[in-house]
Structure 1
Amino acid sequence: MLGNKKSGQKAATINTMISAKTEAIGNISFQGGMRIDGKVHGNVTAADDKSILVLSSSATVEGTVDAPTVIVSGSINGNLIARKRVELHADAHVEGDVHYSSLAMDPGAVVNGNLYHEQDYLNKTGTVKNA
């Protein structure tokens, strides 16, 4: 999906990575591209409106995920806020609400929560009102 030449999107540059054997405890704020292969116990938040977060099939986040573009193949136990776009691949599992502006969901992806199209509810700072 991301980096698809037919869609005109550029491939993301990953600046930060949490490897499969790493477990991070605490909130994480990032800028640019971030890939998680390991576990995060805390919220993961992008510091700008151009950041991208990729969760591989081995990734687990126990907390809220908030970034402009989020690509999920792993698990999120918390709300997911994708201010621009969210891609839920076949291995994705979200235990929480998904707030999005644009959504792509592969067969097999699981969301145990509500889906909210937030284009009308995003405020000027890019955060979801009443989330």
Structure 2
Amino acid sequence: MWFSFKKQPPIRSLIGEGTAVHGELRFTDGLRIDGEVHGDVVAVGDRRSLLVISENARVHGKVMAGHVIINGEILGPVHSTELLEIQPKARINGEVRYEALEMHQGATIDGELKRSSSEGDKPTLMLAASNDV
């Protein structure tokens, strides 16, 4: 097979619509938020993580996970260590850090976008026509 597909972690937890949570949320594997969270939402552990913030969801705090899918509202910084998907109805007010980014038309970000990889991670480039060895 030409492509290696990574299996998404299962969503094991749900914050339902109409539910408001106050305090920090720590999770492993997958979490879907349809309600409101007042506090940080952070994936823990060495395993891959998936965080889905649906269209009607609101998070007032830091968001941090491997694969993050946003279609709701975030008031705080967002950090995705793998892939950040910003869907059409997403509204983010805060700094956004990502490894890979997919952003749909209609999404809004009021903050700075930064790729997580540092400059030291970039490969050194040499010109093929260069006489310097």
> What is aligned with 2:11?
14
**Aligned equivalents of 2:45 and 2:32: distance in 1?**
16
38, 45, 70: which is aligned to 1:48?
Answer: 45
Find the aligned partners of 1:71 and 1:28 in 2 and give their Cα distance: 17
Change (3 A) 1:7 1:57: farther
Q: Which residue of 2 aligns with 1:34?
A: 31
Distance 2:62 2:53 in 1: 13
Question: C-alpha separation between the residues in 1 aligned to 2:98 and 2:8?
Answer: 21
Say which SS state the counterpart of residue 20 (structure 1) adopts: coil
Q: What is the SS of the residue equivalent to 1:15? A: strand
Residue 91 in structure 1 maps to residue 89 in structure 2: yes
In the alignment, the residues of structure 2 paired with residue 73 and residue 93 of structure 1 have an alpha-carbon distance, to the nearest angstrom, of 7
Unaligned runs of 5+ in 1: 1-5, 122-131
Which residue of 74, 77, 88 maps to 2:75? 77
Q: Match of 2:128?
A: none
Deviation at 1:8, TM superposition (A): 3.1
The match for 1:116 among 100, 114, 117 is 114
Q: CA deviation at 1:11?
A: 4.5
Structure 1 ranges of 4+ moved more than 6 A: none
After superposition, give the CA deviation of every residue in 1:52-109 in whole Å (9 maximum; x if it has no partner).
1000001100000011110000000000000111000000000001000000000001
Query: In structure 2, how many angstroms separate the alpha carbons of the residues matched to 1:48 and 1:28?
Result: 13
Q: CA deviation at 1:7?
A: 8.2
Tell me how far 1:10 sits from its aligned partner.
3.3
Rounded to whole Å, the distance in 2 between the matches of 1:7 and 1:61 is 33
Identical aligned pairs, as a percentage? 37
